[in-house]
Structure 1
Amino acid sequence: MAAPMKIVFGLLTFVTVGMIIGALFQLAFIRRLEDSYGSGFPSPRKVLGSDGYRQLPGGAYWSNDKEAEILRLGYVKPEVISWEPRIIVLHKFLSMEGIKSNVRTSSGMFLSPEEKKYPMIQAIEKRIAVFSQVPIENGELIQVLRYEKDQYYRPHHDYFSDTFNLKRGGQRVATILMYLSDNVEGGETIFPTASSGKCTCGGRAATGLSVKPIKGDAVLFWSMNLEGKEDPTSIHGGCEVLSGEKWSATKWMRQKRTS
């Protein structure tokens, strides 16, 4: 009995050590993904000089961009809430500072190609690519939206039903909704066919699955299923805002390059 027990104990020790090493490698890998410096920026050792760069909280380094506030890069906590359609809530996807701009105050506006070059936007684009596994160049420009009291968006699909919109980049495969505001009552993102359970939508009981808009969180979902076909269960909408203002940023991702 002694010899078999020693063998079992040795195997358990080997597996345990292997799991610990694997976890450490995984943490190191995630840390590298989180250190989103953007393209073309100097290393941290060079940032501390007098060349106009500064060190930001959380270990990220950016140029002194007048059009963007600080983005603190923390650890994102993914939560799968549905497999059909595929929906993931990314907790703490953005910093609590969010995105602020003195240029855009309208209810809905796409960021321009020039604004896409801002360091903060580059960091967000990279983070979206990491979690969606869709290349940055396959994405459309980010759209910032504002919903005021009593405003909503009826359930709809993000994939195209016409051939005209497929010419540039192909079909939309995934969407990410990023919540930018706090203290919003109502304004949930609802997926009516994602679940047979009950949920709340704009203060009313509803069927399906809804996600409350929490500043810094994001919802990532796929408009195409694993067979590469349009997924009708990905229908979704924006519930009525009861109080406050709901600010969000949306990015759609395509099958191929969009530019």
Structure 2
Amino acid sequence: MAGMKIVFGLLTFVTVGMIIGALFQLAFIRRLEESSGIPHWVDDKEAVVLRLGMVKPEVLSWSPRIILFRNFLSMEECDYLRAVARPRLQISTVVDTKTGKGIKSDVRTSSGMFLSPEERKYPIIQAIERRIAVYSQIPEENGELIQVLRYEKSQYYRPHHDYFSDTFNLKRGGQRVATMLMYLSDNVEGGETYFPMAGTGECTCGARTMKGLCVKPAKGDAVLFWSMGLDGESDMNSLHGGCEVLGGEKWSATKWMRQRATT
């Protein structure tokens, strides 16, 4: 009995010692952080631009490569992009594979506009561009101008690839490597981004159940996916589309990134 008490006492002593040691270690780490300025991101301009501590990445698929970034844009940035785009919206077009020019098509029924080179110099746009470059690891100069899109009820974008199948568009910047798709509105019914070749399960696309992966639009979130594989070839599995909007308005902003500088 006395031996049991001694063992119990020793275990208690060791446990308490471990707890105290852990507390001292946490306090030491805290002091290191404070002295290095790590927790003071609010005073770090680069950290604020990148929204460090707020953006939450989640890998959705490795083939094709798809990453979801929660809270990629602030609510103010979303509202700003919509306000800039609204008075300049026009019927969206698709790329003609023969000429490389934009043509109207029932494949895509949204309305949209492109920011101008001058608007690209605005501080809020520069912050978004910088963030896209860092999280995608593709230089800013390789990016096309941001396009803002609005999908109203019953509008959609049929599955397609972002990479080019014509030679006209390859002249400036080469092939499209990746796409950052940013959601600018909430309370959208339907309007999911659909990847038919991703995953082995099923998902809801508009009012239909489809095989593949669907990403529900949420204001501030962004989806990064690659049109080019690690072998340098166009990835056919990057096929994607915009599901039919059943209610509300779906607003998004798209940034396509090329192999080389576009300017």
Note the C-alpha offset of 1:195.
Answer: 1.3
**Counterpart in the other structure of 2:3:** none
Counterparts of 1:30 and 1:199 in 2: how far apart (Å)? 41
Give the C-alpha shift of residue 96 in structure 1.
Answer: 1.7
Structure 1 Cα separation of the partners of residues 37 and 68 of structure 2? 20
* Contact 1:149 1:243 survives alignment (8 Å): yes
Match of 2:86 among 80, 104, 128: 104
**What one-letter code is carried by the residue in structure 1 that aligns with 2:62?**
W
Q: Does the CA-based 8 Å contact 2:85-2:112 persist in structure 1?
A: no
Q: What one-letter code is carried by the residue in structure 2 that aligns with 1:184?
A: V
Task: Calculate the aligned-residue CA RMSD, in Å.
Answer: 2.7
Matching of residues 143-182 of structure 1 within 5 Å: 143-182=147-186
One-letter amino acid of the structure 2 residue matched with residue 78 of structure 1: P
2:237 corresponds to which of 233, 236, 245: 233
State how far apart, in whole Å, the 2-side matches of 1:119 and 1:73 are. 18
- Report how far residue 191 of structure 1 moved: 0.2
SS for the counterpart of 2:159 is: strand
Of 222, 225, 231, the residue aligned with 1:221 is: 225
Between the aligned partners of 1:204 and 1:104, the Cα distance in structure 2 is: 30
Residue 258 (str. 1) matches residue 262 (str. 2): yes
Q: Distance in 2 between matches of 1:112 and 1:237?
A: 25
Q: Identify which of 59, 64, 87 aligns with 1:85.
A: 64
SS of 1:124's equivalent? helix
TM-score by length of 2: 0.73
Specify whether residues 207 and 170 from structure 1 end up closer, same or farther in structure 2 by C-alpha distance, changes over 3 A only.
same
Question: What is the number of equivalent residue pairs in this alignment?
Answer: 209
Note the residue ranges of structure 1 that are not aligned, 5 or more in a row. Answer: 1-12, 38-71
Within a 5 Å distance, the mapping from 1:1-259 to structure 2 comes to 28=38, 31=41, 33-36=46-49, 75-97=54-76, 98-100=78-80, 101=83, 104-105=86-87, 106=89, 107-259=111-263
Identity rate of aligned residues, in percent?
69
Q: Quote the Cα distance in structure 2 between the aligned partners of 1:30 and 1:162.
A: 49
Deviation at 1:75, TM superposition (A): 1.6
Query: What TM-score does the superposition give when structure 1 sets the normalisation length?
Result: 0.74
- Counterpart contact for 1:189–1:236, Cα < 8 Å: yes
Look up the equivalent residue of 1:171 and give its one-letter code. Q
For residues 216 and 208 of structure 1, do their structure 2 counterparts lie closer, same or farther at Cα, with a shift above 3 Å needed?
Answer: same
- Please state whether the residue corresponding to 2:75 is helix, strand or coil: coil
Pair 1:157–1:103, CA change in 2 (3 A): closer
Tell whether the 8 Å contact from 2:85 to 2:148 is kept in structure 1 after alignment. no
Shift of 1:203: 1.8
Q: Is the 8 A contact 1:153 1:238 kept in 2?
A: yes
